[in-house]
C-alpha cells in the first residue's frame, strides 16, 4: 500500500512540481469548489460504505479482502490498516484522477481525459473479482467527473477510501465471525 503512495502518488507529484514546474492545485490537489466537494462527500459517502458492505457478501471478493489478512485481528491493527489504505488511495487518486486525467485535459479535452483515466484504472483492476472490475468503470467515471466538477480530488478520494475500508472491515468482521467463539477444552 505504501508503494502505491510512493510510485503512483509521490513520484508523479514531484514530477509535476520539479519537472513540469506546475502547481499541484492544477492537478486537483485542493478543495476546489468546497460546497460541491463537501456536498458530494456527504451524499455519496454513505452509499459507498453500504456498497463496501454489499460487495463483501460476494465470495470472490471475500477471497481477496481484506488486503491485509491481519487487519481484523485487533482494533489497533485495523487502524494501522486504515491509515495504510488512506496512503494507498492518496497515491491511486492522484495518479489516475490527478496526474493522468488532469494532465491530459488540455490536449484531449475533459471527456477523453476522463475516459483514458477510467481505462487505465480499470486495467489496474484486472485480476480482481469481475464485480470489482466492472464497478471500477462506474466508479472511475463518477470520480473522474467529480474531479473536474469540484476542481478537487477530495470527494473521490474520500468516497474511494470509504468503499475500500468498509469492504475490508466487513470482510474482516466476517473472518472473525467464522472463528470459534470458544475453544473446546474437553471434559472438565
> Dihedral sign, CA of 27, 30, 33, 38?
positive
What number of other Cβ atoms are within 10 A of residue 180's Cβ?
6
User: Which grid cell is 71?
Assistant: 487487519
pTM confidence score: 0.91
pLDDT tens for the chain, 188 residues long, are: 899 999 999 999 999 999 999 999 999 999 999 999 999 999 999 999 999 999 999 999 999 999 888 998 999 999 999 999 999 999 999 999 999 999 999 999 999 999 999 999 999 999 999 999 999 999 999 999 999 999 999 999 999 999 999 999 999 987 654 543 334 444 44
Residue 1 has a pLDDT of 86
Alpha carbon 29 to its chain centroid, in Å, reads: 16
The Cα 182–Cα 178 span in angstroms is 12
Amino acid at each position: 500500500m505504501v508503494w502505491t503512495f510512493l510510485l503512483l502518488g509521490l513520484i508523479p507529484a514531484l514530477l509535476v512540481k520539479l519537472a513540469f514546474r506546475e502547481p499541484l492545485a492544477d492537478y486537483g490537489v485542493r478543495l476546489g469548489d468546497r460546497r460541491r466537494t463537501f456536498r458530494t462527500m456527504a451524499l455519496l459517502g454513505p452509499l459507498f460504505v453500504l456498497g463496501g458492505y454489499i460487495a463483501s457478501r460476494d465470495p470472490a471478493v471475500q477471497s481477496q479482502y481484506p488486503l491485509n489478512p491481519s487487519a481484523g485481528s485487533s482494533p489497533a491493527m485495523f487502524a494501522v490498516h486504515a491509515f495504510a489504505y488512506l496512503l494507498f488511495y492518496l497515491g491511486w487518486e492522484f495518479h489516475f484522477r490527478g496526474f493522468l486525467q488532469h494532465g491530459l485535459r488540455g490536449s484531449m479535452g475533459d471527456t477523453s481525459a476522463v475516459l483514458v483515466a477510467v481505462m487505465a484504472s480499470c486495467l489496474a483492476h484486472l485480476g480482481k473479482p469481475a464485480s470489482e472490475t466492472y464497478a471500477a468503470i462506474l466508479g472511475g467515471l463518477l470520480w473522474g467527473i467529480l474531479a473536474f466538477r469540484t476542481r478537487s480530488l477530495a470527494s473521490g478520494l474520500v468516497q474511494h477510501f470509504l468503499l475500500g475500508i468498509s469492504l475490508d472491515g466487513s470482510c474482516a468482521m466476517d473472518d472473525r465471525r467464522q472463528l470459534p467463539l470458544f475453544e473446546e477444552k474437553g471434559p472438565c
